Amino acid sequence: MTEEMTQGGLNRRMFMAGTAAVAASVALWPKEMRAQAAGRKFAASLGWTTYDSGRHLQDGFNAAVAELGGELTMTDAGFDARVQSDQIDSLVATKPEALFITPADAVAIAPAVERAIAAGIPVFCADSAVPGAIVTTTAMSNNFGMGQYSCEYICKALNGKGKIARVMLPQNESWDQRTLGMEWTLRRYPEVEIVTEWAFALAGNVSPRQAVDNILTSHPDVDAIWCAWDGAAVEGTLAARAAGRNDLILTGIDGGSQAFNYIAADTPLKLSMAQSFYEMAYLDVFYAHELLAGRNTPRLISTPTYAVTKDMLQDGIPDNFDVPGEAEKMGWSRAL
């Protein structure tokens, strides 16, 4: 079920009966309400549109606006917080009825988000929360839980004993929660030792591939590498192949066809915590319409995450698993 917290602070479980409930709710909207929504003016400031995650977020926003009504102006900051802040200010000047944001660096763009709210524009965030900003709705994954789950997978695969490395993603407060979840899991596995680590920096000169190359050179006996996102896990898999380490275990977080292909091919990448990016974006648009229609909206939504392993990909590589209802058709159950 989708877990939510209302703006009044009350927990609300089972508000939507499974992920298909969003689509079902849309079907129940009166035709006159859809006609009224057709003239809505929306804007979206995306922190990035690259990778499977960015593409699925973009697809979710576009599909929701097309289905629910309205017009959408969209910008892409390319992971540059300064650019995104400027783009938010520019979008606010156009006076949209709602603003959708996917923050690449939530702390850095917080002042721009607060300026949007102060201008009277309701803000809806996807993938990450913006600290200090009272946005209307944030739809995101359980980042702490994803870090826990993927680390647990490694610890069990090593039978509770071994040497691991980690590639972290501290750029965003929400993403950094994955590392905290990983650390919490390790408290129960005292014989699993972190022998080295590397923190990715968007403005840095070292790529994840180079980082994992260095890890395998300095620690050739490492058993597994926990990665805070799939991009690092994929590049780490290439490094493992180059080093002849097909026995290495890597895990990632994000989901999407690129990571799924590596998992299905029985490479060192064994697990991806697949997030529902499409659904995050769709929910933002859905609740923007709800707000504008005078109805209550949830403050926080925890969207489904699927722990994808090779056995789940035997029938092919899905690209629409995060469209509401599609994962269930494939027999997938949410892990978080």
- Burial call 172-190: b when 16+ CB within 10 Å, e when fewer: bbbbbbbbebbeebbeebe
94 and 42 within one domain: yes
Mean pLDDT computed over 299-324: 96
Q: Look at residue 26 in the predicted model and tell me its pLDDT.
A: 54
Q: Would you place residue 27 in the very low, low, confident or very high pLDDT band (cuts 50, 70, 90)?
A: low
Q: Look at residue 39 in the predicted model and tell me its pLDDT.
A: 82
Integer CA distances (angstroms), 271 to 95, 231, 267, 311, in order: 43, 13, 10, 11
Mean pLDDT computed over 61-80: 95
CA-based nearest residue to 227, from 185, 264, 299, 178: 178
218 and 205 within one domain: yes
210 and 132 within one domain: no
CA-based nearest residue to 151, from 180, 186, 200: 186
Mean pLDDT computed over 229-238: 96
292-296-298 Cα angle (round to 5): 110
Rg over CA atoms, the chain: 20
Q: Look at residue 270 in the predicted model and tell me its pLDDT.
A: 98
Q: Look at residue 51 in the predicted model and tell me its pLDDT.
A: 87
49 and 191 within one domain: no
Mean pLDDT computed over 248-273: 97
**Order of strands across the sheet that contains 305-308:** 192-199, 162-168, 224-227, 249-254, 269-275, 305-308
Integer CA distances (angstroms), 101 to 59, 130, 231, in order: 14, 10, 22
117 and 51 within one domain: yes
Alpha carbons 256 and 273: distance in angstroms, whole number: 10
CATH code for the domain in which residue 289 is found? 3.40.50.2300
76 and 102 within one domain: yes
Find the domain containing 289 and state its range: 3-141+276-303
**Order of strands across the sheet that contains 137-140:** 11-12, 3-6, 298-302, 137-140, 123-126, 98-102, 41-46, 71-76
Q: Look at residue 11 in the predicted model and tell me its pLDDT.
A: 37
Mean pLDDT computed over 227-233: 95
Q: Is the dihedral of CA 232, 234, 236, 242 positive or negative?
A: negative
Q: Look at residue 306 in the predicted model and tell me its pLDDT.
A: 98
Alpha carbons 282 and 298: distance in angstroms, whole number: 14
The average confidence (pLDDT) of the chain is: 90
For 37-70, write each residue's pLDDT tens digit: 768 999 999 999 988 999 999 999 999 999 999 9
Alpha carbons 159 and 153: distance in angstroms, whole number: 10
Q: Would you place residue 8 in the very low, low, confident or very high pLDDT band (cuts 50, 70, 90)?
A: very low
Q: Look at residue 46 in the predicted model and tell me its pLDDT.
A: 98
Q: Would you place residue 33 in the very low, low, confident or very high pLDDT band (cuts 50, 70, 90)?
A: low
The whole model's pTM is what? 0.88
122 and 9 within one domain: yes
Instruction: Answer whether 109's CB lies under 8 Å from 82's CB.
Output: no
- Count of structural domains, the chain: 2
176 and 80 within one domain: no
Residue 334 located in a structural domain: no
